[in-house]
Structure 1
Amino acid sequence: MDPTSLFSYERHVDSRSLNGRTLLVTLGAFTDAGDAQRLLDDHLLNTLSSRVVGRLDMDQVHDYAGRRPEVTLSLDHFEDYERPEILLHEVTDADGQTFFLLNGPEPSFQWERVASALRIVVEQLGIERTLLLQGFPAPVPHTRELPVTRFAGDPETIAVRRTMPGTFRLRAPFTALLTMRLAEGGHDVVGLTVHVPQYLHEMSYPDAAIALLAAVGEERGPHIAAEALEAQAGPVREAITAQIDAQPALQEMVSGLEHRFDKMITSGVGSVVPSAEDIAAEVEQYLASFGDEDGQDPGGPEGDGGPERSGGPEATGT
């Protein structure tokens, strides 16, 4: 099965005229903790100039029955069918520099073929650096700077050294395979995972997207202003603070997370120290939870006593 037939450029696009040294990837994975990927996509595509330049053939790689798209039944007819799409966008930043964004749901089928098709696209466009972005629920407090851990095809290419505190065996997301296949082809690829407080991960949490944008700049990607996300983040922070201040049990939980988190931060530089057995154990428990047969994460605001969804960040999302 020829991977070149899986991806196509838009009819009005001459791929030879496209240029940009960085590719940002926000394909779905285990979970979009804090809606980090969705918020980031919305921010990039709504605040910067962009256009769709290519797409994957979803009929070959998407499980429609397993992940049914939504459609509206309006009295006697259907409308607003939400077609699943994996799209390649050309985005122009405030300085006039272009980069690419690949977004959409995680492919359900033909992972190796999809990875091969995307490697060909990276080579055709002359992309020098691919950054994979996602959020992950973790035992961190919302009152501290959100950690963004890194992984890479070649760890020597990571600009800021922040790794997970241990070695874990987990069910693979597509982005893990893509990282490996791009690296095997000699391409520079780095993954950025923002740690979202586990008691907030089912909410829209703009601070997670803000942390990812900052990490993109640190990892030699485009420097993108986050003013629009900051405007969303303010009311969300206030709502979370109000809910936690009203519940002593939540205050105690956050205090405990702060105490353990502070042990992992060195003074001055602010990098994560890879030790702390208790933190590693909690992270490992969260990773293992994604191996449950039902594929659902057991955490979330309702399951672990976190702030309720109503009155939280959803009201301030884009």
Structure 2
Amino acid sequence: MDPTTLFSYERHVDSRSLNGRTLLVTLGAYSDAGEAQRLIDDELLNSLSSRVVGRLDMDQVYDYAGRRPEVTLELDHFVDYEKPEILLHEVTDLAGETFFLLTGPEPSFQWERVAGALQIVVEQLGIEKVLLLQGFPAPVPHTRELPVTRYAGDPDSIQVRRPMPGMFRLRAPFTALLTMRLAEGGHDVVGLTVHVPQYLHEMAYPDAALALLSAVAEEHGPQLPLRELESQATTVREAVQAQIDAQPPLQEMVAGLEQRFDRMITSGAGAEVPTAEDIAAEVQEYLASFEHDDPQHPDAGENTSREQGPPDSPDEDLGPTDRPADDA
């Protein structure tokens, strides 16, 4: 089907008047670990001048029955229907430069057509660089700087080289296909994935959003605000640390993650540095654990990751059962 009919500009917008060097993409993927994408969307759209300039036809690409939107029943009538939308925003950064932000859930259907439609938008608007932002739950401690893995259609376009340590087969998010199709069209596209502590990935974790925005700056993206996120991050860090300090089992868990993380990042004092093969094997094992948590996977158990996972907010108790699996 024709991809040009899938995306439309707002009625009041003349696409010929739009211009911006960079497109940031915060579309959903496996999960929004640490709610990094939501926090970034809130920070940029609430603190910078912006307007919606276009949207995708959601009735063609979204699975409403599979991912039912929420609605409120107020006594005898419905209100506050949360309409799923994939929107293109025009945003002005701190330096007064215009960039674009694509927000919304991961499309359920017609991935190739959606990728084709977005490539047309990139070409129409003269976008020079596309940066895709997302979070990933990983066996890292909250007491260390969160790693941000980089990938790209053309690896030479990455400014800071921090690739995954090996080759992996995994279930593809839409952003993986979008990266490939944009690169095939000759466009500069770089993906940024922050590693969020596994025991905190289901709560809002501003440090994850801050790590991604710092990576955007490293990749020569727009100048973005950090002050509000930094204030939120301080509050969350203090709340998390207070709960961990009160529970020795959690202190042991974090200490173990710190030791493993330090061995991977630095040589340490007399510590043996793991080889790339060692690191790849460990990450591969961790990625494989997601398939067993998938309710549709034949080996999946009755319990979901949310039932066994971390709290939804830093004020809830981080009990011993919230320790990550041994293979993490």
Is TM-score (shorter-chain normalized) higher than 0.5? Answer: yes
Distance 1:5-1:106 versus aligned 2 partners, 3 A rule: same
Counterpart in the other structure of 2:308: 303
Report if aligned partners of 1:24, 1:100 keep a CA contact under 8 Å in 2.
Answer: yes
Deviation of 1:263 after TM superposition, in Å, equals 1.7
Paired AA for residue 257 in structure 1: L
Q: Structure 1: 5+ residue runs without aligned partners?
A: 268-272, 314-318
Paired AA for residue 39 in structure 1: L
Deviation of 1:247 after TM superposition, in Å, equals 1.0
Report if aligned partners of 2:236, 2:314 keep a CA contact under 8 Å in 1.
Answer: no
Aligned counterparts of 2:58 and 2:241: Cα–Cα separation in 1:
42
Counterpart in the other structure of 1:107: 107
Q: 1:44-69: CA deviations, max 9, x gaps?
A: 00010000000000000000000000
Q: 1:266-313: CA deviations, max 9, x gaps?
A: 48xxxxx99455543442233223334416998868626x56736059
Counterpart in the other structure of 1:87: 87
Paired AA for residue 53 in structure 1: V
Q: What is the aligned length?
A: 307
Counterpart in the other structure of 2:321: none
* 2:143 alignment partner, SS class: coil
Aligned counterparts of 2:60 and 2:140: Cα–Cα separation in 1:
39
Aligned counterparts of 1:308 and 1:117: Cα–Cα separation in 2:
36
Aligned counterparts of 2:182 and 2:215: Cα–Cα separation in 1:
20
Counterpart in the other structure of 1:167: 167
Per the normalisation by structure 1, the TM-score is 0.91
* 2:23 alignment partner, SS class: strand
Distance 1:36-1:185 versus aligned 2 partners, 3 A rule: same
* 2:70 alignment partner, SS class: coil
Aligned counterparts of 2:64 and 2:143: Cα–Cα separation in 1:
40
2:295 maps to 1:294: yes
Structure 1 segments of 4+ aligned residues over 4 angstroms from their partners: 276-279, 295-302
Report if aligned partners of 1:200, 1:300 keep a CA contact under 8 Å in 2.
Answer: no
Deviation of 1:212 after TM superposition, in Å, equals 0.3
Aligned counterparts of 1:301 and 1:121: Cα–Cα separation in 2:
37
Deviation of 1:220 after TM superposition, in Å, equals 1.1
Counterpart in the other structure of 1:24: 24
Report if aligned partners of 1:244, 1:307 keep a CA contact under 8 Å in 2.
Answer: no
Report if aligned partners of 1:199, 1:299 keep a CA contact under 8 Å in 2.
Answer: no
Counterpart in the other structure of 1:15: 15
Report if aligned partners of 2:94, 2:223 keep a CA contact under 8 Å in 1.
Answer: no
Report if aligned partners of 1:239, 1:312 keep a CA contact under 8 Å in 2.
Answer: no
Q: 1:201-226: CA deviations, max 9, x gaps?
A: 00100000000000000011112120
Report if aligned partners of 1:134, 1:193 keep a CA contact under 8 Å in 2.
Answer: yes
Percent identity between the two aligned chains: 78
Aligned counterparts of 1:214 and 1:36: Cα–Cα separation in 2:
13
Report if aligned partners of 2:240, 2:314 keep a CA contact under 8 Å in 1.
Answer: no
Report if aligned partners of 2:86, 2:103 keep a CA contact under 8 Å in 1.
Answer: yes
* 1:89 alignment partner, SS class: strand
2:67 maps to 1:67: yes
Q: 1:129-168: CA deviations, max 9, x gaps?
A: 0000000000100000000000000001100000112211
Paired AA for residue 205 in structure 2: Y
Aligned counterparts of 1:60 and 1:187: Cα–Cα separation in 2:
26
Report if aligned partners of 1:301, 1:308 keep a CA contact under 8 Å in 2.
Answer: no
Which deviates the most, 217-226 or 190-199?
Answer: 217-226
Paired AA for residue 122 in structure 1: V
Aligned counterparts of 2:279 and 2:307: Cα–Cα separation in 1:
22
Paired AA for residue 55 in structure 2: R
Distance 1:219-1:275 versus aligned 2 partners, 3 A rule: farther
Per the normalisation by structure 2, the TM-score is 0.89
* 2:116 alignment partner, SS class: helix
Aligned counterparts of 1:111 and 1:7: Cα–Cα separation in 2:
13
Paired AA for residue 315 in structure 2: G
Counterpart in the other structure of 1:43: 43
Counterpart in the other structure of 2:213: 213
Distance 1:174-1:301 versus aligned 2 partners, 3 A rule: closer
Paired AA for residue 236 in structure 2: V
Root mean square deviation of aligned Cα:
2.1
Counterpart in the other structure of 2:144: 144
Q: 1:72-104: CA deviations, max 9, x gaps?
A: 111111111000000000000121101000010
Alignment of 1:186-225 (within 5 A): 186-225=186-225
